[in-house]
Amino acid sequence: MERKLADILAQADAQLEYQAMGVARPQPTDREIVGEPCPRAKRLREIYYSALSSASNEFPHWYTRTYMTLDNEIPVVRRALALESAFRHLTPTILPGELLVMGKTHHVRGSFPSPWLSEGYYMAAEDELYQEALARGSASADEVSIFGAGGGNVTKSFGPVVSIAGKFGIRKEEVPTMLRVARAWEGKSVDDIGHKYEQMAPGYEIKEALMKSVACMFDSGYTLPQGREVINYYYPLQYGFDGLISKAEEKKREVAGRPDGDGLVGMNRLYNYEAAIHALKGVQAWILNYAREARRLEAMESEPAQRSEYAEIAACLEWIAHHPPRTFREALQLTWTLHVAVLNEDVISGLSPGRLGQVLWPWYEQDIAVGRLDEAQALEFLECLRVKYTCLDCFASMGVVGGVLSGNTFNNLSIGGLDRHGAPASNRLEELIIEAAMRCATTQPTLTLLYDDKLPESFLLKATECIKTGTGYPAIVNNRTAIEFLLGQYGPEEMDLEEARAIAIGGCLETSPCSWMPLSLNGETYWIPGGSGQPTSVGVHFLSLPKILELVLFDGVDQRTGLRVFPPHGRSLDAFEDVFDQVKAYFARAVEVLSLANNIQHDVWRKNNMAVLNSLLKPDCLESGHLINELGYRYNATHNVETCGTINLINSLAAVKSLAYDKKSVSLNELRLALSDNFGFKTADEVSSYSLAAQEKRGDSSEHDRTHFECLTAPKYGNDDPCVDGILREWEEWFCSMCRGYESLNAYPYYACQISVSTHAPMGAVTMATPDGRLAGTTFADASMSAYPGTDRNGPYALFASATCWDHAQSQNSQLNMKLHPSAIHGREGTKKLLELTRAYMHKGGFHIQYNVVDSRILRRAQENPDEYRDLLVRVAGFTQYWVEIGKPVQDEIIARTEYEGVGS
């Protein structure tokens, strides 16, 4: 009989409590609020549920075909011509019943590889390109990342379908050319050229060892070079494509041959405008191809209502391909089209629509006023939009898509906040956006409420009701804390308070710089918000803090691979301060070498693979003639250092301090031995479970039991414990400050970013047992401010006190997730209690909180019977995902999270 940790602890009259503030009801409880989509959205969502993630070769084929014929063309023009060709040649697909049309490819969940960024990771494992990627560490995370095998993930080949990059299915007829296209980029991709030059940076060998040991998760420069930012729809909404092309033509005439005082890049403006025109014409052609398809379907359709809908689709597309939108429908279609266009331009995760309800308000308000639209119609459009967003897939490596993103693409729609004068910015359309999200529960777009005390109570209660559907959205972000961060970070680029109020969240939780733009519609002017900063998905991502501690305890050697990552520190670690200092020293060294490599990769990207479309949408590229590569964006200080496993580090440091130095009950050497032996337990992989309680003893030995028990019962974060919170505060103050000492390629200081996304699973998988009692291979605590499962025993307000012991405005974000049992917030009173809970955290200065409203027993059932739970949604860490598409390590972690049975003080 195998002995599980939970049973062993129970025998010792101790337990890993996963229920707090009460005991769950005897029978599993479903979520209180279950929405029902309109029939059209429901049909389309059913199609989505049945759709496989499908890759195709069309876009890379046409891009490569054109690009390779343009030797010696100016790089930005060459890239734009390749993009134009790819957009022009995409096959349009329109499904019966669709109101909003267009997608990344002709498949519902379509995507494609972008070998100009990186070409090795999706080759067969035995292929030399893949082996090269492994050797340089760029595919190491792939080896330890796991996709959920359910839903639309194609994790195995079958029949005519080949599984690639662990998730995507491609038809076998397309594989030979896909591989040939990939090989055409060998030695030319951002990955390959970047690798050539990053090796010239001092400390490169450490960088490579960090990647191979998965102490660092991925290089952003060639995997996800853009994203976690807010798109800006303003220019096409205001001027239309024809207007923008005319504007660029006019600008070309103005700047041709004139440096205008800028001998470095002044001349580049001509080429940039030329590139912008090509990219815009490519998108125009793409839209018109869809319009032609709609006309073709109209002609062949026998059913009058459907025929009429095809005609309306065609008319809408024919108009927006040239002109600014006149109606809510045209504006909505245009924003969606732009969104997909930018996602096709590059491999992007976390391209967020921002405050879409405020962007579209002018058309909504005027259409409602003249009776051109009613709320039911608007709701139907918004539900259809949710299905469209949910279809977005991102083709990147398994380590990135599986290990970091859990298959999500993080299109975050922000609601609430303040207008530029400081008044509440919420509106009726945003209420409908919430309603659509409640009725048509899907993963995308996720919602974030920019919480401000000024927002109407009714609006806040509506958002709180939405949380009770169990979808995990809206997440709640502290508007004032975010504004304070923005002013600190972008003040040097002349951001003022009015501009900072345009804030929206890009990606999961990335506070992103935005701007107000004056939009004129039928003689009225509206100030609409939109993104104006570079991607924030870029920089040093993700650094595993427990792995850094492991390297400190074992003098720089990774215990999984035996690889020396850092030179020996040689310190005897006689005092706790020595341990903490060495953690900081190794961390700083990691940031130093990773930032150098990252700067080089992104520099290669911006020289050869720069954003053209995304750039021309962002203020002030069109005005200045400079794209992202020439810092044409209004805000460019966006590179950051991102961490994972904060709470396991803090708990481990607290245990080391308490046991090895204060009480002296366990020596550091005893601790090392126990960690190396995984406290006498099997590894998580052997047990096939990644939560602590389910781990099994290897045999009957009790050699490390006392040490393990002491580690488990050492003080833990989340209990308002001054000693542990003091360690957290010291870490946060140091971390948020030290990032400023490193310079991004844009010559601005880095800053701190603290979200885990899904990295706590693969990074946990490669990390040995930790001094907090966590066992080898098990998943870390999620997020950055969530307690480790079962260790927050003093209620939510104690957790809040611990989480806010430091100033969250010093970081781009922090992240706190809580799991609530549905009965804890039942009824109208429950909604009010939940809002009060949220408000309490906001008032303490917490940056972000989000709730999983679910009975853990339902999750266990879903794990055992995934086919019966295709539509079950859960919140992971900054995003919502279908349960069946999440890998088991993260599933186990979500099940293990402390379940709050009540939310009182």
Partner 1 sequence: MTTSQKHLDCRAYAPIDVVKGICHLTKETVLADDAACPSFDRQPKCRACRLYSPGEEAYVGACGATPDRPMTYPDLVAVTCEWFDWKDG
The footprint of partner 1 (CB under 8 A) covers: 47, 50-55, 57-58, 61, 65, 68-69, 88-96, 106-109, 152, 154, 159-161, 169-177, 180-181, 289, 297, 300-301
**How near is the Cβ of 834 to partner 1 at its closest, in Å?**
38
Nearest distance, CB of residue 286 and partner 1, angstroms: 9
CA atoms within 13 A on the CB side of 596: 17
What DSSP assignment string belongs to 570-625? -----SHHHHHHHHHHHHHHHHHHHHHHHHHHHHHHHHHS--SHHHHHSTTHHHHS
Q: Is 73 left (phi over 0), alpha (psi -120 to 50) or beta?
A: beta
Residue with Cβ nearer partner 1 (92 or 795): 92
3-state SS class at 819: strand
Distance CA 11, CA 13 (A): 5
SS3 assignment for 191-216: HHHHHHHHCCCCCHHHHHHHHHCCCE
**CB 753, CB 727: distance < 8 Å:** no
Please return the burial class of 568, using the count of CB atoms within 10 Å of its CB with bins 0-12, 13-18 and 19+. exposed
* Closest by Cα among 626, 439, 615 to 531: 615
For helices 668-676 and 705-713, what crossing angle results, to 10°? 100
**Alpha carbons 514 and 502: distance in angstroms, whole number:** 5
Order the strands of the 640-644 sheet from edge to edge: 216-219, 539-544, 640-644, 751-753
Return the number of the residue (296 or 372) whose C-beta is nearest partner 1: 296
In the bound complex, what is the minimum distance in angstroms from residue 301's beta carbon to partner 1?
8
Closer to partner 1 at the Cβ: 173 or 577?
A: 173
Distance, in Å, from the CA atom of 174 to the CA atom of 181, rounded to the nearest integer, reads 11
| Max intra-chain CA distance, the chain | 83
CB closer to partner 1 out of 47 and 201: 47
> How many angstroms separate the Cα of 170 from the Cα of each of 113, 363, 446, 721?
11, 40, 28, 53
Q: Please pick, among 38, 216, 316, 508, the residue that the annotation labels catalytic.
A: 508
- Residue 259 CA to residue 718 CA, distance in Å, equals 58
Q: What own/partner pairs with CB < 8 Å and gap ≥ 24 does 79-83 have?
A: 79/275, 79/608, 79/609, 79/610, 79/612, 80/274, 80/275, 80/276, 80/277, 80/278, 80/279, 80/282, 80/612, 81/278, 83/278, 83/279, 83/282, 83/345, 83/612, 83/613
* Residue 296 CB, nearest approach to partner 1 (Å): 8
Catalytic member of 84, 208, 510, 885? 510
> In whole angstroms, how far apart are CA 271 and each of 64, 257, 259?
21, 11, 12
Strand positions, DSSP E, 355-508? 412-416, 446-451, 475-478, 504-506
- Pairing mode, strands 110-111 and 54-55: parallel
Tokens of 781: 């605590």
Q: How far is the CB of 179 from partner 1 (least distance, A)?
A: 10
Nearer to partner 1, 289 or 817 (CB): 289
Measured distance CA(738)–CA(753) in Å, rounded = 12
Residue 123 or residue 711: which is nearer to partner 1 going by CB?
123
Buried b (16+ CB within 10 A) or exposed e, 882-905: bbbbbbbbbbbbbbbbbbbebbee
Classify 701 as helix, strand or coil. Answer: coil
Nearer to partner 1, 288 or 738 (CB): 288
Q: Quick one: tokens of 577?
A: 């301060």
Residue (25 or 180) nearer to partner 1, CB: 180
Distance from CA of residue 211 to its chain's centroid?
A: 20
CA distance 697 to 2: 7
What minimum distance in Å lies between the beta carbon of 440 and partner 1? 19
In whole angstroms, the minimum distance from the beta carbon of 116 to partner 1 comes to 16
Clarify whether 510 is annotated catalytic: yes
As measured in angstroms, the least distance from the Cβ of 104 to partner 1 is 13
Q: Is 38 a catalytic residue?
A: no
Q: Quick one: 287 or 429, whose CB is closer to partner 1?
A: 287
d(CA 66, CA 75): 13
With respect to partner 1, which residue has the nearer C-beta, 233 or 286? 286
175 or 265: whose CB is closer to partner 1?
175
In the complex, least distance from residue 109 CB atom to partner 1, rounded to whole angstroms: 7
265 closest CA partner among 72, 76, 130:
76
Q: Report the alpha-carbon distance of residue 832 to residue 850 in Å, rounded.
A: 16
DSSP SS3 for 506:
strand
Rounded to a whole number of angstroms, the minimum distance from the CB of residue 167 to partner 1 is 13
Find the shortest distance in angstroms from Cβ 156 to partner 1: 13
Q: Name which of 157 and 199 has its Cβ closer to partner 1.
A: 157
> 3-state DSSP: the chain helix, strand, coil percent, rounded to 5?
50, 10, 40
Closest distance to partner 1 from the beta carbon of 348 (Å):
22
Q: Minimum distance between the CB of residue 66 and partner 1, rounded to whole angstroms?
A: 9
Q: Residue 647: name the closest of 780, 764, 553, 541 by CA.
A: 780
Cα–Cα distance between 505 and 355 in angstroms, integer? Answer: 9
Q: Is 563 exposed, middle or buried (0-12, 13-18, 19+ CB in 10 A)?
A: middle
Q: How far is CA 383 from the centre of its chain?
A: 22
Q: Which is nearer to partner 1, 302 or 669 (CB)?
A: 302
Residues carrying an active site annotation: 508, 510
